[in-house]
Amino acid sequence: MKPLAERLRPKTFDDYVGQEHLVGKDAPLRKIVESGNIPSIILWGPPGVGKTTLVNIIANLSEKDFYNLSAINSGVKDVREVIEKAKKSNLFSKSNPILFIDEIHRFSKSQQDSLLGSVEDGTLTLIGATTENPSFEVISPLLSRCQIYILKHLEEKDLDKLIDRAINEDEELKKIKFTIKERDALYRFSGGDARKLYNILELLSSTAINNEITITNQFVVDKLQENINIYDKSGEQHYDIISAFIKSVRGSNPDAAVYWLARMLDAGEDIKFIARRLIILASEDIGLANPNALLLANACFDAISKIGMPEARIILSEITIYLATSPKSNSAYLAIDKALALVKETGNLPVPLHLRNAPTQLMKNLNYGKDYKYPHDFPNNFIEQQYLPDKLNSETIYEAGQNRKEKTITDYLNFLKNI
């Protein structure tokens, strides 16, 4: 028997749950598909939010020839075979076929290069699905020829629709009388992932007694703890484990951090994915408390890209332990978010005249740059003057963290203020 997620896979936009910003009435992706003029697109979003379902709906509505490749088990040869089929298809049809590549982020540069010419000349329309940021994983020439659509985790209202549809419409689950008293655990364990939610419901249905089942939060927790491997049988602990990894490093626990690293490596996680997260973590959570952390995290990415597995595990372990045992600060992270909030709140405030560039005589006549004081002309290479727009001149955006390195920064800034 097919899994519940397959049995209930939607076939039209009207049956599709979630992603209203893309496929709701008059939403951009829906309008494009219904117009028949489908460009090459990349669907980016976490697992279980409907990327593959969306592609199937597009294929059905477009009535174009449709080819499907998985980046996990397809090579350049497979791509070229599809391109040849597409060229032959174009001889008999004005409508170029669609090539869907699932997990396109796993395609190598050479595999992506092999697609470029056919996408560029319209031999085929590419639809790629990825859980990774395409800016990192898709080559720039191919990315520039695709429209990017971002799918989000499903919200509680979406999960409610899926739950109700499953117990009321699925032929197997309809045989069971469901009494749902609480739903919070279903939301929490599914994590906005429709496939996980359906796997959970299917597992719970197997525990029904006399074809009846009462769902409470505790009941869900108990059953999933008993059957953790079953409810996660699709192998999508990806986001849970990377979250535990990051939080362990942030929490300065090297033992837990290396354990979660080992879990990811054992599961075959992409080592570049791990290294990128370490770079982000070095800036977000360690930051100015130890600026060398970013340099070493970046060096880690470069090294594992050259070395590969299995030796890359040693480099990842070294940097993981280094970051976990480094002092922590999120001051840079908080500063840029505060600055962005101020920009959003206050708009495009004018640059003070003395800070403006004056490349023309007209600008000089308007006093652009007139009263600017060049800090190197003053003792200690510093002179007090206004740098923020008038409206924000009293704002403090960077708040130094409570660590040895940033205390040194604070002391230096205070020294300058007292000059």
Indicate whether this model's pTM tops 0.95. Answer: no
Rounded to whole angstroms, the Cα distance separating 97 from 68 reads 11
Rounded to whole angstroms, the Cα distance separating 255 from 293 reads 19
Contacts of 236 (CB under 8 A, 6+ apart): 47, 48, 193, 195, 196
pLDDT < 70 positions in the chain: 1, 89-95, 226-238
Rounded to whole angstroms, the Cα distance separating 34 from 200 reads 34
At 194 the pLDDT is: 85
At 234 the pLDDT is: 42
Q: Which option is the CATH number for 19-150: 3.30.70.100, 3.65.10.10, 3.40.50.300, 2.30.130.10?
A: 3.40.50.300
Q: What is the DSSP string of 94-111?
A: SSPPEEEEETGGGS-HHH
At 246 the pLDDT is: 94
Is domain 156-231 given the CATH code 1.10.3470 in the classification?
no
Phi, psi of 53 (to 5 degrees): -60, -45
Q: 333-417: what fold?
A: post-AAA+ oligomerization domain-like (1.10.3710)
Rounded to whole angstroms, the Cα distance separating 160 from 166 reads 10
At 123 the pLDDT is: 79
Domain ranges of the chain: 19-150, 156-231, 238-324, 333-417
Q: 238-324: what fold?
A: Zinc Finger, Delta Prime; domain 3 (1.20.272)
pLDDT, tens digit, 9 for 90 and up, residues 313-362: 999 999 999 999 999 999 999 999 999 999 999 988 998 988 888 878 87
